[in-house]
Structure 1
């Protein structure tokens, strides 16, 4: 397996069926947890940026000469998007010294919301997907991750602020 394919498929996870995008999102959960435990939010943010750059490169190489701009086995975009969604947990846990696993309801919300926005592709998520180029492949998941992170923050605000729990 060449380097671009290893990065794009996240070491072959993209070949898992059914729903390779969901498998890619699931792979991001332990990765983000490990990065957070080792280096906190700054490491999660830095790693997501690096993986984004590597993902654009890998997707460019993989799709060169292909009729598909977004092959289903390319799931590095889901990893980055899911990591962004989880940043809504990583930052407050790091900032307040909370063990990130204590925020487990947020992990579920981040996963579900990210998958929802990635599949549904509302507004700017769909715009990025319609670019039909490697940057668009990565950007639609970045935007879906931002939407999911915002959703997690709203849900946490309602749960802890409005409801007082």
Structure 2
């Protein structure tokens, strides 16, 4: 259970108050940067896939026998969702050989949009949350991350001119 708690709370970040989900999303940013710097888009993508499955396992362990399927201290789902929201930036930086930090407005947009969709829970985000299980806990943030990533791409297109 100790390993599950370390994974689920992202080394204890989930115990920071107030707003542990926001703290989880914030801590995801430098880790995404590090993964991108070390291995580009492929490493960030691998981190998302591995982190998703480890997070699903940890969430299931931490919530076994509990009525609460998504306790606030579990923030590994926020890390994965935030990383997904950052994927368009990683892809662009990796394919164009750019410093990913040059796209700092995109980082802000990805963070704000992910938090918005994670809290608001539109469409598939709310559906996943209502599943009431460990998979739903992970999937609601995956869907929020995907929606945020789509909006990051749209905003980048609008800013840079779609042409």
How would you bin the TM-score normalised by the shorter chain?
over 0.9
- In structure 2, the partner of 1:135 is 135
Q: TM-score, normalised by structure 2?
A: 0.98
Match of 2:69 in 1: 69
Summarize deviations over 1:23-77 as a string: whole Å, max 9, x none.
0000100000000000000000000100000000000000001121101000000
1:23 matched to 2:23? The reply is: yes
**Cα distance in structure 1, aligned partners of 2:116 and 2:135:** 21
Partner of 1:49: 49
Output the CA distance in 2 between the equivalents of 1:27 and 1:88. 19
Matched, 1:118 2:139: no
Partner of 1:97: 97
The residue aligned with 1:4 is 4
Superposition deviation, residue 160 in structure 1: 0.2
Specify the alignment match of 1:146 in structure 2.
146
Consecutive unaligned residues in structure 2, runs of 5 or more: none
d(CA) in 1 for partners of 2:64 and 2:90?
35
Deviation of 1:104 (Å) = 0.2
Task: Name the SS for the 2:68 alignment partner.
Answer: coil
- What value does the CA root-mean-square deviation take over the aligned residues? 1.0
Residue in 1 that maps onto 2:38? 38
Q: Unaligned regions of 5+ residues in structure 1, if any?
A: none
Aligned length: 163
Aligned-residue offset at 1:149: 0.3
CA distance in 1, matches of 2:29, 2:110: 10
Aligned residue in 2 for 1:14? 14
**In 2: Cα distance, 1:71 partner to 1:126 partner:** 16
Distance 2:66 2:125 in 1: 23
Listed one character per residue, the Cα deviations across residues 127-147 of structure 1 (whole Å, up to 9, x for unaligned) are: 000000000000000000000
Other-structure match for 2:109: 109
Report deviation, 1:161: 1.2
State the alpha-carbon separation in 2 of the partners of residues 88 and 27 from structure 1: 19
